[in-house]
Every structure is written in structure tokens, then in C-alpha cells.
Structure 1
Amino acid sequence: MTGELNGRRVAFLAADGVEQVELREPWRVLREAGADTELLSLEDGEIQAMNGDIEPADRFPVDRRVSRASVGDYDGLVIPGGTVNPDNLRADADAVRFVREFAAQGRPIAAICHGPWMLVEADLVRGRSVTSYPSIRTDVRNAGGEVVEAEVVTDRGITTSRDPNDLPAFCARIVEELSRS
């Protein structure tokens, strides 16, 4: 897998409350495959990751505010979960616009766990097969998505997974989708 994504740039969109393993593991896999990765968030500085929703984990430096990011600078987008992270992101117009524009340009997007909340907010699940953490599946259905019970689902450039247990399949699919784009 080393070098498979040389020259590819991948944005990670996350805020305080991001599930650490859902940020760190795809980041590691994409870097090992040769991709350049950049952390986008709502503010400059650092974001606080969590282990679950109650135990603070590491802090991660933000590379760029999403309000200052251009979709054209990236080949792929990853939206990690954690309950609080996508809830913060979906309330930000710039973050929602960025995700919506990413899809409009046909660039690969991957979201795991609660990350598909951003896809719901950007009106990207309508007519698509999607998986997610069980507690947001009603939101996915109400937004017009078809919920599929699988470890990883890709439908027209959008890849989704359920939770950290799905990370091996999720990460492999991200690499696969980026290598084809």
C-alpha cells in the first residue's frame, strides 16, 4: 500500500469531541499510503479528541480553518465521528458548505460513526445507501437515505461506516476510492 496515494491531498474535517481513533487511524493509513493529510476545523489552534464521549484524549493541531479552505486543494475528505464532533460541525455554515461543494465536485468523501450527520446536514444522503452509528439512523432515513447494515458502504463517491470496529474496512475503502479518483 505504500506510495499508492503519492501526490494526493486529503482533508480531515473535525472539531472538539472527535473520536480519537476515528481521526488517528485513517490519518495513519492514508499517510502510510503516501497521501498528504491536513486537519481542518472551525477555529485555529487545537481540537480536543475524546475516547468515547466522556474521556478526554489527545489534542491535535489544526492546519487550517474550514472557512479558509478550498475544496480544489484536496482529493478526498474524511469526516471522523464522535457524538460531539459532527454536532459542532453541522452547526457551522462554512463546514456544511465545504462538504456540499466536495460532493458537487465528485470528490470522494468518507464518514464514520456519527460523521454521517454532516452528510445529512449537507443534504447528501438523499437517494444513497448509507451506514452509520445506530443512534443517527433515523436522521439518515428522514433525510432520504437508505440505511444499510454493513461495515462499509460506498454509494456514488460517499463511503460510510458504523463505528471504530469497522476502521480496517473503512480505511481500506478510503484508500481504494482515492486511488481511483
Structure 2
Amino acid sequence: MMKRVLIIATDGFEQSELMGPKDRLEDAGIATTVASLEEGEIRGWKDKDWGDSVQVDLTVGEVSTEDYGALLLPGGQMNPDILRMDETVIGLVKEFDAAGKPIAAICHAPWLLAEADIVRGKTVTGWPSIRTDLRNAGAMVVDSEVEKCGNLITSRNPDDIPAFSDALIAAVEQGAMENA
């Protein structure tokens, strides 16, 4: 598996949930690519207001899952709610899952996993307000800092970013060693 992680986000992503794991991945020597619905920049959400912008490297239509070893889905309310309505995004989530590649989703981002119908029979966690949605999609929902089930890595909120990032880094490193 390649030591490259695709990050899919759009305007309204939770600032810390994109930048925290992205920085941790890059510090570990893992390359990241930010993909979004449109070219240019996307704006984060921080402390109940707009946060910093992040440069988009590719549109989701330009992404090939073969180029990446894992997928990172940051939360925030707006970001995953917009993304789960985009067929290309959901198709990419399904492709990463079908390939058995790690998919890390934090906070509200597990909505995308439910939309892609890949949580059925899996144990996951997420922000409290989406837990009923995850249960209704067939998941077993727990309240834990980080939950790993198969190729899925989920966490609840920004406080979980260190454990979430560590779990994703470990999964990417393990995959890179297995495919070396």
C-alpha cells in the first residue's frame, strides 16, 4: 500500500479534524492530497465561525483510488452533510472499502460511511447526534475515542484527534509494509 492518504472535504470542514490528522500524517512521512467538489480553496469551520482555507489539490472527479493507500474524512456538520449528497464522493468511499483500504472518519464524517452502506455489521463511533443514523444503517455503535473495525477507523470529536491520527498512521504503515 502506498504511503499516500486522500482527504476528501468541502467548505465547512471542522478545521482541527482536517489539519490535525493531515499534519500528523505528514510528520510521519505520509503524503496527503486534498480533494473536493470544486477547484480552488475550501474553508474550514473553527470555534463557531469560518476558519482557515485549505488549497484543493484535485477535484473528486480527478481522483483514482489506486493512487492512495487510505482515505481520511474530516467532520464538521456542513462538510459531510454536503459530501454525502455527491454520487462521486460516495462512489470513492465505496471503492476504498471494496479495495480493503483504510477509511478514517471522525465526528460527523461517518455519515458518509452510512450513505455508502459500508457500516452494516461493523462497530463504529461518531458524534452523538449521528449515532442513530449509524444504527439505522446497520452499525453497532459504541462511545469510544477510536474504534477500528476491519478497514474502518472512526472517532467522535476533536478531542480524539491524537488517537484517531495514530490509528490511521498505523494502518497506513501496516499496509505499506504488507505491500513492500
TM-score (norm 1): 0.95
- Aligned partners of 1:45 and 1:168: how far apart in 2? 28
Does residue 1:175 correspond to 2:169, yes or no?
yes
Runs of 4+ in 1 over 4 A off after TM superposition: none
Match of 2:64 in 1: 70
In the TM superposition, residue 99 of structure 1 has moved relative to its aligned partner by 0.5
Q: How many residues align?
A: 175
- Aligned partners of 2:95 and 2:79: how far apart in 1? 20
> Which of 105, 113, 121 is 2:115 aligned to?
121
> Which of 139, 148, 163 is 2:142 aligned to?
148
- Aligned partners of 1:153 and 1:90: how far apart in 2? 21
Does residue 1:91 correspond to 2:90, yes or no?
no
In the TM superposition, residue 68 of structure 1 has moved relative to its aligned partner by 1.2
| Percent of matched pairs sharing the same residue | 47
Tell me, what secondary structure is at the counterpart of 1:140? helix
Does residue 1:32 correspond to 2:34, yes or no?
no
- Aligned partners of 1:15 and 1:40: how far apart in 2? 8
Q: Deviations over 1:122-163 (max 9, x none)?
A: 001100000000000000000000001110000011000000
Could you tell me which runs of 5 or more consecutive residues in structure 1 were left unpaired when the two chains were aligned: none
Match of 2:12 in 1: 17
- Aligned partners of 1:9 and 1:173: how far apart in 2? 15
Pick 1 or 2: higher relative contact order, CA cutoff 8 A, min separation 6: 2
Could you tell me which runs of 5 or more consecutive residues in structure 2 were left unpaired when the two chains were aligned: 176-180
Tell me, what secondary structure is at the counterpart of 2:11? coil
TM-score (norm 2): 0.95
> Which of 80, 88, 91 is 2:74 aligned to?
80
- Aligned partners of 2:90 and 2:106: how far apart in 1? 16
- Aligned partners of 1:159 and 1:11: how far apart in 2? 14
Q: CA RMSD of the aligned region, Å?
A: 1.1
In the TM superposition, residue 8 of structure 1 has moved relative to its aligned partner by 0.8
Does residue 1:57 correspond to 2:51, yes or no?
yes
Q: Deviations over 1:84-118 (max 9, x none)?
A: 00001001000000011010001111000001000
Q: For residue 38 of structure 1, what is the amino acid of its counterpart?
A: T
Q: Deviations over 1:51-108 (max 9, x none)?
A: 14x3000011100001110000100110000000000100100000001101000111
